[in-house]
């Protein structure tokens, strides 16, 4: 079940702790058993005269109860999985790692061993994640559970109410367990609501009509059944809603509190977000017929998971909104994701051409338009040598001024460049290379 070194010896203290861990599970089982007696015997069999209503109530009750108990059983007794042996460091490498002089040497040893393993998560200092207790390289999204005493694949949290870690293999069962438990509690509360109200209105009338046990114990069974159903439903609705949110965001409880750190880009809570439907299918599978049955249909093997960057690469032209804020660099692959005018300019205009072409700021744009009636005639063509004289030994530029239907060529004393002033446009500065 675990990944520790060849198992550990059982001591009397550990055996006592193992028994103690089952107390929450036994408590939940006892509550379910009592609720079955209170609902089936006291409410339906002894409290209902209409047999058709009783049959309908019992049918939906047992259907909900079976799905609830099935999911609960699968959540409790599904193994946390085992990391394959090729993820485990040999003893020689472990000794080298512990004898390393500094963290950089340890990083080199771990990176060299994990170079062929599908790991993208890193520690805060950029090293491959390594479990000192299990002596293995931690797969992505896995963590060491001190209660289970092993590394758990895609660990969500350790739940004492199921005496097991919620992990890659039973996360679907756990979500279904919360959902069916909520439905069970709401169903019990709503179907006992009428008897609960009548109990407070007229206790004696309820006993005469046979809706409650004549001994008086049936009244209290239904009273407590309604209270416990409402109480558990209130606590389950928030927990179930939170895990549905985590499913659609493709996060675990641990990742919601502490973002996973990727090899390139650092922490990113949205690193595994593939879209709501894809995130849902990653947990519940692709076949909708098995979505609501506690049968394992999750995608993958629990060792590696698709990332948002891979999803974006497979769908070129798509865009992903990064809720963490920074969009200048993709957090997973380090490729530019935002607009970078300087990079675009370097790709379009070579450096040598940019040295010969300069555009003045917008504040120097001259707009001079004079409306002239009739057709517009352009001035005679000007030779290139006259329009742009050699400026190697002269600081006199040439100014072409076209206003309306008249054109002229003048010179002005400026810097060592030619200025072309076009009516209604910016100054274009050119030199001999144009």
Helices (H), 250-383: 253-257, 276-284, 308-314, 341-348, 351-356
Residues 6 or more apart whose Cβ sits within 8 Å of residue 161: 24, 25, 28
The conformational region for residue 83 under phi > 0 = left, psi -120 to 50 = alpha, else beta, is beta
Ramachandran angles phi, psi of 340, nearest 5°: -135, 95
SS (H, E, C) 330-358: CCCCCCECCCCHHHHHHHHCCHHHHHHCE
159 is catalytic: yes
Q: Compute the distance between CA of residue 338 and CA of residue 52 in angstroms, rounded to an integer.
A: 66
Catalytic residue (choose from 131, 134, 145, 159): 159
Tokens of 390: 């050699």
CA-closest candidate to residue 282, choices 246, 256, 314, 250? 250
CA-closest candidate to residue 397, choices 416, 375, 424? 416
SS (H, E, C) 203-230: HHHHHHHCCCCCCCHHHHHHHHHHHHHH
Identify the H or E element spanning 306: none
Q: Please, is 167 exposed, middle or buried when counting C-beta atoms within 10 Å of its C-beta (0-12, 13-18, 19+)? A: buried
List Cα–Cα distances, 263 to 99, 109, 181, in angstroms: 25, 16, 40
Could you please report the per-residue DSSP string of 104-169?
HHHHHHHHHHTTTS---BB-TTSPBPEETTTTEEPPTT-EEETTTTEEETT--EEETTTTEEE-TT
Classify the C-alpha dihedral 257-330-266-80 as positive or negative.
positive
CB contact at 8 A, 417 and 391: yes
Q: Which residues are catalytic?
A: 159
């Amino acid at each position: 079940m675990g990944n520790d070194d060849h198992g550990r010896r059982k001591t009397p203290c550990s055996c006592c702790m193992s028994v103690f861990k089952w107390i929450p599970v036994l408590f939940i089982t006892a509550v379910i058993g009592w609720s079955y007696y209170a609902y089936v015997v006291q409410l339906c069999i002894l409290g209902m005269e209409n047999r058709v209503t009783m049959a309908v109530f019992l049918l939906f009750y047992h259907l909900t109860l079976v799905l609830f108990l099935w999911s609960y059983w699968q959540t409790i007794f599904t193994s946390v999985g085992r990391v394959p042996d090729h993820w485990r460091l040999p003893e020689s490498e472990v000794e080298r790692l512990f004898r390393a002089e500094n963290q950089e040497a340890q990083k080199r040893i771990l990176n060299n061993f994990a170079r062929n393993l599908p790991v993208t998560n890193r520690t805060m200092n950029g090293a491959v994640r390594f479990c000192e207790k299990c002596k293995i390289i931690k797969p992505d999204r896995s963590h060491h559970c001190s209660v289970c005493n092993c590394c758990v694949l895609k660990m969500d949290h350790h739940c004492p109410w199921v005496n097991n870690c919620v992990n890659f293999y039973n996360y679907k069962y756990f979500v279904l367990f919360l959902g069916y438990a909520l439905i069970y509690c709401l169903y019990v509360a709503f179907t006992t609501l009428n008897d609960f109200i009548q109990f407070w209105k007229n206790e004696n009338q309820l006993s005469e009509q046979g809706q409650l046990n004549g001994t008086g114990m049936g009244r209290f069974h239904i009273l407590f059944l309604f209270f416990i159903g409402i109480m558990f439903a209130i606590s389950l609705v928030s927990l179930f809603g939170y895990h549905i949110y985590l499913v659609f965001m493709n996060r675990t409880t641990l990742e919601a509190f502490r973002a996973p750190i990727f090899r390139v880009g650092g922490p990113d809570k949205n690193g595994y977000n593939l879209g709501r439907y894809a995130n849902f299918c990653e947990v519940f599978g692709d076949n909708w017929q098995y979505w609501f049955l506690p049968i394992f249909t999750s995608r993958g093997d629990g060792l590696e998971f698709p990332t948002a960057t891979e999803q974006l690469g497979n769908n070129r032209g798509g865009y992903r909104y990064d809720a963490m804020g920074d969009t200048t660099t993709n957090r997973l692959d380090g490729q530019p994701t935002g607009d970078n005018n300087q990079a675009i300019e370097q790709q379009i205009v070579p450096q040598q051409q940019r040295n010969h072409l300069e555009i003045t700021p917008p504040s120097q744009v001259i707009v001079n338009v004079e409306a002239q009636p009739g057709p517009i005639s352009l001035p005679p063509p000007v030779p290139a040598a006259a329009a742009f004289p050699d400026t190697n030994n002269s600081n006199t530029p040439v100014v072409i001024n076209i206003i309306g239907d008249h054109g002229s060529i003048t010179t002005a004393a400026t810097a060592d460049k030619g200025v072309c002033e076009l009516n209604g446009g910016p100054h274009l500065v050119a030199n001999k290379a144009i």
